[in-house]
Chains A and B, each alone.
Chain A
Amino acid sequence: MLDVMGKAVDTIDDRDVSFADIRHQDLATTSIAVVNGALRRLSRSTKAGTVARVLVGECWGQSSITEPFSLGILENLLSKAVKMAKHNAQHSRMKINLSGIPVHQETSWQETKEDPSNIAEEEKLDFVMDLDKAQKVDEKIVNTNSMYADSKVIYRLANSEGSRLEWDETRTRVAVRPVAKDESKVQYDYAIKSGLAGYELVRVLDPNEFASKCARDAIDLLSATKAPSGEVTAVVDGDIAGLIAHEVCGHASEADEVVKKRSFLSDLVGVEVGTDQVSMVDDGSIPGLLGSFPFDSEGTPSSRTTIIENGIFRGYMHTLETAAVMRTNPTGNGRAQDYNRRIFARMTNTFFDKGTWNNQEIIEDTKDGLYIIKTHSGMEDVVGGGVQATSLKGYIIKNGELTQLVRQLAIAGNVLEILKTVDAVGNELEFSGGTCGKGEEDWVPVTSGGPHMRMQLVVGGG
C-alpha cells in the first residue's frame, strides 16, 4: 500500500506543485455504553479513508475518498487537489518552500501490554457493567452512565520529499457519569481514565473505587451552594490549571495563529508573561498520555516544546508550513482529525510544569479563597487572551481550610494578568485526557494538566 502511495506522489510532474503527500488511515474501534444497568451500545466498527494534499504557492488542495485505491485512483485524487490548489493560488502572496524538511522512513508499531483486540468483548462488557453497578450507592442516584472505548488506528504516509511512514496508535478510555436527584435539584459528576495504552489501563482500575466515589461526589453536589462571584484568590487543581494552559495559552501558541498575527501571544518570544513560577510545555512524546503519538499527520516526530519557561515566553507549536514560514523546525504539531479534515497546528499534551509547593501547603497558606476543581468546559480566546472556563465544583477556603462545597462556576479574566499573579505552584503533576476542537470542530485526542496553582481569578457562580 505504501509503495503505491509513494509511486503516486513521485509521479507528480507539475512545476507549480512544490510539495505533496498522501495519508491513509485505517481505524478500528470498540465502544460499549451501559445506562441504568442496561446495555445501550456494544459496537465494533471500522473506518478507513485516504487523503492527498498538494501545495502550490502558499495554498493547498486536498481530496479524500473512502474507496479502495489503485495508483490510478491516487493520481486522480492528486490531480483534483492540484486543480483546487491552483485555483486558490491566484491569491497566493508567497511561495512556501518545504524542500529540505527532515525525511523519515520508518515503521513504528505501538507496544501495548495487552492489545485490546485480544481481550474478549464479554470481559470488556462485564467491566462496564461493574462500573455501572458501582454507581448505585444511594437512591438519590437516578441515572448511571458507563462507557468503555478502545481504538486502534493505522496510518501510512508518503510525501514528495521521500518520507515513507507506517505507524499505529492504540487508545483506551473509560468513563462514568452518575446523575443525582433530590426533589427538583439535579447534579452530576464524572470520572475519566484514558491514555495511549492498551487494556492495561483497565487492569489497574478498581471499578468500585472509581465509580462509587464519583457517585458519592454527585450526591454531595446536591447540597453544594452557589459559588461567590467576583475576584478571588483561587487555588486550582491540576485539571483546572491544565484547562487554562490548554484553552488560553495553548491555542494561542499554535503557530498558524501566530503567522497570521491573530494570537495575542504573537511577537512575545523572550517577553515576561508570568511570574518566575510559571512554566508551560507541550510534549507529544510522553509515554501513555492520550495526546501522545510517534508522528503527527505530516510525518514529523512528536517532540517537547517549551512554551513558557520561568515566566518568559519561549516558543510556538509548529506544522511543516508554519515552521518554514517562521524559519524554525517543525515540532510535530501538525494534526488532522481524520482523512476528511485539514491539518493545522494542534496541541498534544499541554501542561503547566511543576513547582516546589506541597498541595496541602498551598491550601494552608491561603487565608480566604476558593479551591476550584474539575473541568466542566472551556473555550479558547486566541485574540483577546481571555479565560472562559467552567469548573464542576469547588470549596470555599477559610483560614487555610476547605469548608463549604460550591457547585459549577465560571472562571474568567485575562490570562496575561492572571499568570502575573501566580505565587504558588505545586510539586505534583496531574493529567486529564480528552478531545480538543479548534474553532468549533476538528477534534483530536489531547491531554491537559498541571500542578496545583494559586492565582487571582474572576469567578461567577451559577
Chain B
Amino acid sequence: MPQVEKDKRPDPDILLSQIEADERKQKRGKLKIFFGSSAGVGKTYAMLQEAHRRQREGADVLVGIVETHGRQETLQLLEGLPILPRRSLSHRNVTMSEFDIDEVLKIRPDILLLDELAHSNAPGSRHPKRWQDVEELIQAGIDVYTTLNVQHLESLNDVISSITGISVRETVPDRLFDEADNIVLVDTPPDELLARLRDGKVYIAPGANERSVQNFFRKTNLQSLRELALRRTADYVDIDSDEQRRREGLRTPNAVGEKIMVCVGSDAFAAKLVRTGRRLATGLKSPWLVTYVETPVAEAQDLRSRQHIQHVLHNAETNGAEVVTLTGTRVGDELINYARNNGITKIVIGKSGKPYWASIFKKNLAEFIVTESGDIDVYIVTTPAALSVAFNRRRVMPMSRHEGMRYGYAAILVSAITFGAYQTEFFFTNMDTIMLYLIGVMVTAAGLGRGPSLLYSVLCVSAFNFFFTEPRFTFNVYDSSYWLTFTVMFLTSVTISSLATKLRDQLMLARRREHETQIFYNLTRELTATRTREEMSETVIRRISQTIGGDICIWYPGKKGMLELVYGSETGDFFKEEVVADWCYKNGQPAGLGTNTMPSACLYYLPVTGTNMTLGVVGIRPKNDIFLHGQALIMETFVSLLGSALERSETAEAAEQAGLLAEKERVRNILLSSVSHDLRSPLAAITGAADTLLQEPHDTNSETAQRLLRSIRHEAARLTKVVSNLLEITRIEGGRLKLNVHPYFPPEIIGSAAESCRETLKNHKLLLKSLQDIPFVNMDGLLISQVIQNLLENATSHTPPGTEITVFADMYNNGLRISVSDNGPGIPPGQEREIFKKFATFDQGDRPKGAGLGLAICQAIVSAHMGRIYAETNRTGGARFVIELPSELTIPELS
C-alpha cells in the first residue's frame, strides 16, 4: 500500500510551481472572457448582466469601455453602472477619446468592464493593444470582464481568414485566453443570429462593404466559426482540467513528451509558421520553441527585415514559445544540432515557393531538414508565392559605398595580375597565369567577400581570354579547347571563392563570438573590481556605448521611491521619457521603443532586476533606432550583470552594516556594564563619604573627616579618568583623530607625560631614563605623551603602592622605542594581547581599574603612527609595555 501511495504523490516541483502560480494569481486580478463565435451573439449583453449580478452582491463595478452601438437593450443594461469618463488624446491634430487606464488604477474598482479585448488603442496610448491594458490591470489586482470573438484569437487567425476570406488584423495572444480565470461561452445558433442580423440587431461598422458583410454572415461561415469557438472553449476546459489533474497527482492523458521546434527566417512567412506551431503545440499540449538562425549574411540585412523578425520572435514569446536565437553559417546544421540536443520531437519549417529548377543546384532548407532529421517528425508549411516576393526584397537593396569599394578592389586586383602577367609573359606559360589568377580569387574571397569574388571570377576569365589567348585583344579563341579551360577556370574560381567566403564567414562569426565573450568577460571583471553604484553604472555605460553605441541613460530610485535620472550621455534629452522609465521600473518589464508598452518612446527601457526587486532602469536609443537580435541579448546581459553587481554590492554593504551594528551593539553592551560599574562604584564611595560628613558634623581637621575627604577626592579623580578615557575613545573612534606630526624630543615628551600624572604617581617610585644621544623623532607629541600617561596610569592602578615604574627611551633599527615597565605582579599569562581590546579589564578581585579603555586608546594612537605596542613580562616578573615608532614615519590621516 505505501508503495502505491508514494507513486500517487504529486511531484513536489509541480506542486511548488502550482503554489507559486496560485500565489501570483491571488495577488492578480481575475480575467473573465465572454467568448463568442461572431459579432451579435450577445457577449456584451451577457457581460453587463453578469456585472449587474455582481453589483447586487456588493462588488464595486466600473464600466471602462462598453460599446452599445446604439442598441436599446444594451443601453438599458448600462443604467445603474458607473461609467469611467474617457480620456481625450490628440494625435496629429485628430482628437480621439480612449480608455483611461491611469484613472482606473487610481480608482481601483473590484471589477472593470472592458469590451472588445482585441481592440487596438489610439496612437499615443500607453499600450498599443487593449489586451495589454488588461494584463496590466490584472497585474494590479483588478478583476476584468471582457469580450472576445473567436476570429481574433492569434492561433486561429489563418484558419479563419481561409474560411471567411476576411483577414483579421487585430489579434489577441492565445496565452491570454488560456490563462483566463473564466471563459463564458456566449452561443447563439446561426439561424437565430441571421435573424437578428436581419432585424438590424447586429452591429456592422458604418461604411463596411455591404458585400463583404454579406460574405461573412453566411450560414456556412457562421457554422464554422461556431464550431471553432466551441472547440476552442473545449480546449480551454481541457487545459484547465489537466491542471487540476496535475495538482491532484494524476497523470495527464496527453503528456507524451512532445516538444515542437518552429524554424523561422526573416521573411514575411515567419508569422504564419509561428501560428502553425502554436496550434500544433496547443493541440498536443506540448512545449514549443521558435528558433531563428542568425547568419553573417543576416547582419547585412536591411532594417525592415530585422524589425520584422524581431516582431515575430517577440510575438512568439508572448504566445508562450521559448525563443532561441542560434548563430552559425550553416542554418540547416545549426537547426538539426539544436533539435537533437534539446529533445525536439517535431520540427515545423516553411517551404518557399521557389521554382523547381532553383533547388537542383542548392538543396533548400526544408529538404535538408527532411533528409537530416532522422526520427524527428518534420511538418512542412508551404509559403504562398506572394509572400516569397517580400522575402526577396532585400536583394535589390542599393549597395553601400563601402560595398562598392570592395567590388572596385576586386577589379583592381584582376587588372594588377593581368598587367603583371602580361609584362612577364615571356617567362610564364598560360598555365602559370591561370594559377596566378586563382591565387587572386583566394585573396578576394577571403578579404572582400562573396560578391566581389564572383565579380573577380568573371573578370579574370574574361581578362585571360582577352589578353592571353590567340587572337589577342578579342574575346574570340582559335583553339576551341580553351573553352574548356575557361569553364574549368571559372568553376574552380567560383568553388574556391565559395569555400573561402564560407571560411571567412565562419572566421568572422567566431571572431564576433569571441568578441562578445570578451566583452562579457571584461565587464564582469570590471564590475567585480567596482564598489559603488556610481562606478558600476559608469562601467556599464562605457561598455554599452563601446559595444552597441547610441544614447544611454540610467535611472535609479531616489528618496521617496521616485525614479531619478542618474546618468545620461550628453546628447540625450531623457527627462521627457520619465513616464516610460517609471512604468518600466514599477512593472519590472521592458518598455518603450520596440516593446508593446509606449512604443512611441525614443528609447528602449530595460529594468535592472535583482533577485526580488527592480533596482533601476537602463534606457538606450540604439543607432538607427533598431537592435540586432544579438545586440538586444548583449544589452540584456549587460543589464543583468549590472543588476547582480548592484545586488552584490548592496548585500556586501548590508552585511558590513550588520557587522558594524553587531560590533556597535557588543561595544555598547560592554560599555553599559563596564560604565555602570566603573561610574557607580566611585559615585557610591563619594556619596557615602559625603553623607557621613553631613550626618555627623566633624571638625574638618579630624582624622575621620580627612580620611573621608581624601576618599572623595580619590574617587572623583577615578571618575574623571573614566570619563576622559570614554571621551578620548569616542574621539578616536569617531574618526576625528588626525595626526599632527613634527619632530619631537622623546625625553621632553616623557618628562611632560610624567609631570601630567604627578598626582597619580605620588605613591609609586618613578624612574625616567633615556639614551644619551637620542635624536628628535617624527610623531604627534601630544598623542604619544597621552600614550605614556595612559601606560603610567595603567601601571599605577595595577601595582601596589611603592612599586617601581621605569620609563626608558632608546632606539631600535633607527626607530624609537619607549618602554614602561614595573616590578609589580605582572600581566596574567595569555592576556598580553587581550588587554589592548576595548573594555578589557582582567579580573583583579573586586576592584576594576578604569573602564579598560586606556590601553585601547594607546593601541589606536600607536597604530595610527604605523607603530606597534605590545605587552610582556619583564625579568622582575612585572609588566613591560613597549611602544615602537618607526623613525621614517609616513603617516596617513586616519579615516
The reply to whether chain A is a binding partner of chain B is: no
Chain B residues packing against A (C-beta within 8 Å): none
